[in-house]
Amino acid sequence: MLIAGNWKMNLTPKEGVQLAEGLLAALPKEGATEVVVCPSFVSLVPIWASIASSRISLGAQDVFWEERGAFTGEISVEMLRSVGCSYCIIGHSERRGRLGKSEYPRSRLAYFSDSDEVVRLKLQSALAGGLTPILCVGETLDERDAGETHSVIEAQLNASAHGVDAPESPLYIAYEPVWAIGTGSVCDAEEASRVSLHIADVMRTYAPNADVRLLYGGSVNAENAAGLLSKAGINGALVGGASLKAKDFAAIVTAAEAIGE
Ligand code: PGA
């Protein structure tokens, strides 16, 4: 099992270090569950300083695909690795401009414009550079209501992960229904399991040499985690809001640990 916390654009470096320390205090020193925190770029260095010798791994929320050069504002795989990152979230729906909360002005969504092609480039550079990717896929509410969940996800996987050959790294794919992200409406556990098993199936065709593992993301919390994590095909969770509280995130890890045994 892997439990990853996506802190999104929350917490200053100082607040992040406090949270990381709270998490270290709340978690058993060792365990079979892989625990990852993904703070903002500016917090990576100080947080790595406090978790480097612990069981918690560090992840970034995004990465750029070129190695170096005139790409103002971007951050490379090598830069992330050099500050302790071993994981990277790629193609999160928020980076794709597919936001779960409908009140955000539509006219501004174009600024979050990761296309499937961009997601593919990021995924390939992460794998080539030794960062374990957490690739996010998922449907919006409209797509779901139109019965397009499978076709949308298949198209995302086809465009960004078809042919991925990654013998040295697992490839985590997070099924994150957009309508469940940050909304409190968690996906029904049976449905999350069904879609996860379908993703695993599709990936066996698209990338038979990849070591694919499935996460669920979208309103996971301390109460619903065990129900989701115990379902077939779900190997962990990508947690947003609930990862900002040490006690809640630790409870999710504990739930994973109990199921993993
Ligand atoms: P949430 O976010 O847990 O706050 O819904 C999950 C995510 O965006 O990865």
Indicate the residue type of 246: A
User: Is 221's C-beta closer than 6 angstroms to any atom of ligand 1?
Assistant: no
Is residue 132's pLDDT more than 90? yes
Residue 199 in tokens = 């993703």
What pLDDT band is residue 261 in, cutting at 50, 70 and 90?
low
Is residue 224 over pLDDT 80?
yes
Which atom of ligand 1 is nearest to 183's Cα?
Answer: 5
* Residue nearest atom 3 in ligand 1 by C-alpha distance: 240
Determine the pLDDT at residue 104. 79
- Contact call for residues 193 and 215 (beta carbons, < 8 A): no
Q: Is 176 a catalytic residue?
A: yes
Q: Read off the pTM.
A: 0.97
pLDDT of residue 85: 98
Chain segment 72-119, per-residue pLDDT in tens: 999 999 999 999 999 999 999 999 999 877 677 878 877 788 999 999
CA distance 161 to 171: 10
Sign of the torsion angle spanned by Cα atoms 114, 37, 59, 161 = negative
Among left, alpha and beta (phi > 0; psi -120 to 50; other), residue 48 is alpha
Q: Is the beta carbon of 254 within 6 A of some atom in ligand 1? A: no
Q: Is the CB of 224 under 6 A from ligand 1?
A: no
**Active-site residue 30, yes or no?**
no
- DSSP result, 74-123: ---HHHHHHTTEEEEEES-TTTTT--SSTTS-GGGGGGS---HHHHHHHH
